[in-house]
Chain A
Amino acid sequence: MIRLFDRKPGANAAVLAEARALMDEGLGLEFVLDLFPEDAPWLREQLALTESLAAAYAAEPATFFFEANLKAKFLAAADNPRVPAPAAPATTAFPFKTAVTSLSLASAAAAAGVVTLGFVTAGGAVPGDWNYGFKLAGERLQYALSRGDDRVNVQIGQAEARVYEIQQLSQHGDVSTSDLSRLQDQVQAIATLAQSKPLDDVQKARLQGVAQTTQVVLQDTKTRQPSLDEPVVAAGAAIHAAVVMALSATPAATATTTTTATATITATISPSVTPTVTTTATTTPTPPPTETETPAPTVTETATPNPTETPAPTHTATATETAEDQGTATPSPSASTTPEP
């Protein structure tokens, strides 16, 4: 019930704002409180707090050095702004919606036309041309759509394009370090691709062609633009290294893996077989191990026919007997000889 007669919360806010504004003007706390006698009890504490806040914030001034230094920068920046000031927005509001719509449609059509023209004419563009961006965009698209071998071919093609561009720019002495680094990146990308899949003969030949042309073009650039001497030499060295890496890449990675694989397989099989054979042979005299081992003793024993048995064949020297006993005669000597010794 009592709250019905309370003032709105905004009223206290207005009183505080008004009182504080008076203090900002330089009036003292007590003077201001006298102007708001009904609100003095709660207002005193809040105004005191605002004073403490302002005093606390003001208690940490900037150093003179910083203030002076920043002022110097501020004035210097006025003469040489960091970024060009944006143009003031056009204030001519076109009154008719239809006109605005047609204008926007016309500009959209013009933009589409410019894009199309840009892509169509971008083939021979060099850095600095209006449509060079379209050329790079087209190349990026081409690269993104390519796979496997084709990707290497695309990269080599683009490297050839970079060399051509530098050649064109070099004739006017317009080569920049970014053009060199673009070519360098391109060749480096080829070298990286070659590490995963070695280049075929045609690709190698093309890359060698790129490398040779590059050396000639860079030499020409160095002559025409002596200021670019260092970057050109550095780019030439880097490109040469990348080309060497790409050309020398062999399927070594796959070969080593296969050989090590087979090596490990044989290594693991052979030791594991022999111990099992020996252990089973010693622990259990059952047929399986003895059967596997029997061929060796029989072979050795038959291979060394003892001279004491030689009389036996001479005993059966008749031709008829040997002819009849063929097939059964061979096992019999071995069978008869084993118990004899």
Chain B
Amino acid sequence: MEDSALERLAPEFDEDATVLAAQRGDHTALSDLYAHYFPRVYRYVGARLTSTHDSEDVTEEIFLKIIDNLPAYQFRGLPFGAWVFRIARNEVVSHVRRQKVRGTTSQLSETIADDSADHTREVETQLTIAMVRTLTERLPDAQRQVITLRFGAGLSVAETAQALKKTENNVKVLQHKGIARLQQMVARQ
């Protein structure tokens, strides 16, 4: 069987043991945690924020908060991944709030993938990203949270439920409603 999307993002690892080692300051464990969560967190943040610059800033802040609070993390029914994405979600929400207060400025993305020489495809990709962001922005907040965690960060339904403090059934329904609504919006366009 082909590797799953999450496994492609980061190889499977013993999360509990890695977190314990990371809490003791083991750099290998910290590197593993970083390798496992960086792509997911960055994609989640990128799914919520339009500017690459903002995404990088917020991702950095999230990881520094993770490291600051890591010694205090305890396995008490909340998986480490859900804990990480609660921090990520809070950071994104507070960034969006700050941005609303300051007023938004749209910036062009600086990270169009450069490994392809086909610039038409790059432009199409950028347009698709822009369209997806625009459409998901129109979703109700709860649906948008679920969609970005599920498809932006690649979390499972269970992980999304834990990160958002919701039941799995609730997440399934929100996901279904969000997809159905996006479907209608795409059809209208």
A-side residues, CB < 8 A to B, are 9-10, 12-14, 16-17, 20-21, 24-27, 45-46, 49-50, 52-63, 66-67, 70-71, 73-75, 77-79, 81-83, 85-88
Contact = CB atoms under 8 A, between A and B. Distances in A.
Contacts of A17: 157, 171-172, 175-176
Given A13-B175, A71-B31, A81 B67 contact: yes
Contact of A21 (B67, B132, B157): B157
B50 to A, nearest CB: 11
B129 A82 contact: no
16 contacts: A14-B169, A20-B150, A24-B156, A26-B3, A26-B5, A50-B179, A57-B152, A66-B56, A67-B42, A70-B63, A73-B64, A74-B30, A77-B64, A77-B68, A78-B30, A78-B67
Interface in B144-167: 147-148, 150-152, 154, 156-157
Contact of B180 (A46, A54, A71): A46
Given A46-B180, A60-B111, A16 B27 contact: no
Nearest to B5: A24
8 nearest A-B pairs in the assembled complex, by CB-CB distance: A13-B176, A85-B71, A26-B2, A17-B172, A53-B151, A56-B132, A13-B172, A57-B152
B52 interface: yes
A70 B38 CA distance: 9
A24 B27 contact: no
B189 interface: no
B166 to A, nearest CB: 13
Contacts of A27: 1
A163 B175 CA distance: 66
A71 B64 CA distance: 10
Contacts of B38: 62, 67, 70-71
A334 B176 CA distance: 120
Interface of B: 1-6, 22, 25, 27, 30-31, 34, 38-39, 42-43, 46-47, 52, 55-56, 59-60, 63-64, 66-72, 74, 109, 111, 113, 125, 128-129, 131-132, 136, 147-148, 150-152, 154, 156-157, 169, 171-173, 175-177, 179-180, 182-183, 186
Nearest to A87: B72
A59 B30 contact: no
Contacts of B151: 50, 53-54, 57
Contacts of B4: 24-26
Contacts, number: 151
Contacts of B74: 88
Nearest to B186: A49
Given A26-B3, A70-B63, A52 B27 contact: no
Interface of A: prevailing SS: helix
B179 A49 contact: yes
Contacts of B183: 45-46, 49
A21 B172 CA distance: 11
A4 B143 CA distance: 27
Contacts of A26: 1-5
B170 to A, nearest CB: 10
A62 to B, nearest CB: 5
Nearest to B173: A13
A24 B6 contact: yes
Contacts of A63: 111
B92 to A, nearest CB: 14
Contacts of B55: 62
Given A61-B39, A70-B38, A82-B64, A75 B31 contact: yes
A34 to B, nearest CB: 16
A63 B109 CA distance: 12
B64 A10 contact: no
A87 B111 CA distance: 40
Contacts of A16: 172, 175-176, 179
B64 A74 contact: yes
Contacts of B42: 61-62, 67
Given A53-B132, A60-B129, A67-B38, A10 B67 contact: no
A257 B42 CA distance: 66
Contacts of B30: 74-75, 78
B46 A56 contact: no
A71 B34 contact: yes
Contacts of A13: 169, 172-173, 175-177
A1 B157 CA distance: 34
